[in-house]
Amino acid sequence: MIKLDRREFLGAIAGLGGALFLGGCGSRETQSAELPATRTTKYADNTLAVASGSDASALTRKAVDALGGMDKLVKSGDFVVVKPNIAWNQPPEVGATTNPEVVGEIVRMCKECGAGRILVIDHVIDRPAEMVLGLTGIMAAGKNAGAEVVAAQNESDFSRVEIAQGRAIKSDTCLKEILKADVFINAPIAKTHGATTLTLGMKNLMGCIWDRQSWHRSKLDQCIADYATIIRPDLTILDANRILLTGGPKGPGKTKAVGKVIAGVDPVAVDSYGAGLFEMSADDISHIRLAHEMGVGEMDLAKVTIKNV
């Protein structure tokens, strides 16, 4: 069976009649679909790498190395987009945003592989965005490692995508830069959430859309699962160095030093493992179960190879 990667799948959907629009919800300027070349070197999609320790940068590298190394994914000249959680105006110790050391190490690894352009981006909620980028530590970490760091704040930063398998939503938006990327790396933090119990990798993709409230007005967990069928990262790196146990998603609240970074291709498997850090199972988190049922990935960790390093 021929397996399409994320960008090929998006192109195929568009080519089959799913219109891809520029300029967010209000625009109807069509964009032609182009199928990118297939990347032939990838990680095994049924493997998770779990690195444990106290050094967030070292854990990030060890987890990716356990999958085969970043050079298995990123090639010379590639445009790489890294999407951490930078939504909230909180310092790293609160556990509401991705550890900047994780982000910095991801960027460094991509630079070592010869990536052409590396962009760290999120749809920042709190304002002013410049303060958020600074307080979270992600601006400095990304720039010092060699990336551009951007807060998406305008509807024009997003394009419309069709969601053929969607049950709650049949279309939505996505950051234009993600759609153009050769490699898309999702870098969420593990924490609690008042509406979805937990926010891990797939929930972090809400930062890719323009109108977050539209999901909250609908069936939120189903929207998350729907979106995961069309926007699939090439790699998910879950920051669980310090997890937020209460007061999520913004905090402050009770935190726990877990000292783990989890990396994998399968977003459902990554999230399923992440749920276990909170003494929950994938069945306890509706969007994980729904994404599994829709064929996005495997939530039964007994069927997943786990490499502990």
Residue with tokens 């119990």: 197
Least reliable range by pLDDT among 11-25, 132-146, 240-254, 258-272: 11-25
Residues 6+ apart with CB under 8 A from 193: 199, 203, 248, 249
Least reliable range by pLDDT among 25-39, 96-110, 211-225, 291-305: 25-39
* Helix or strand run (H / E) with residue 155: none
> 9-33: b or e for each residue (b if 16 or more CB lie within 10 Å)?
bbbebbeeebebbebbbeeeeeeee
Give the pLDDT band of residue 35 (cuts 50, 70, 90). very low
CA-closest candidate to residue 106, choices 77, 154, 141: 141
The Cβ of residue 176 has, within 10 Å, a number of other Cβ atoms equal to 18
Strands in 29-30's sheet, in edge-to-edge order, are 29-30, 21-22, 158-162, 171-175
pLDDT at res. 278: 98
Note the pLDDT tens digit of each residue in 270-282.
999 999 999 999 9
Tell me the C-alpha distance between 159 and 177, whole Å. 9
Note the pLDDT tens digit of each residue in 150-193.
999 999 999 999 999 999 999 999 999 999 999 999 999 999 99
Between β-strands 183-187 and 79-84, what pairing exists: parallel, antiparallel or unpaired?
parallel
Name the pTM for this structure: 0.89
pLDDT at res. 42: 72
Note the pLDDT tens digit of each residue in 58-88.
999 999 999 999 999 999 999 999 999 999 9
pLDDT at res. 154: 94
* Helix or strand run (H / E) with residue 187: strand 183-187
User: What SS3 state is found at 255?
Assistant: strand
> 125-154: b or e for each residue (b if 16 or more CB lie within 10 Å)?
bbeebeebbebbbbbebbeebebebbbbee
**Top-level class of domain 44-153+177-308:** alpha beta
Mean pLDDT of 82-100: 97
Is residue 258 within 8 Å of residue 200, measured between CB atoms?
no
Higher per-residue pLDDT: 4 or 120: 120
> Rounded to the nearest 5°, which phi and psi values hold at 223?
-60, -45
Tell me the C-alpha distance between 240 and 95, whole Å. 9
Is residue 259 within 8 Å of residue 45, measured between CB atoms?
no
Task: Check whether 225 has a pLDDT greater than 60.
Answer: yes
Q: Provide the 8-state DSSP code for 193.
A: E
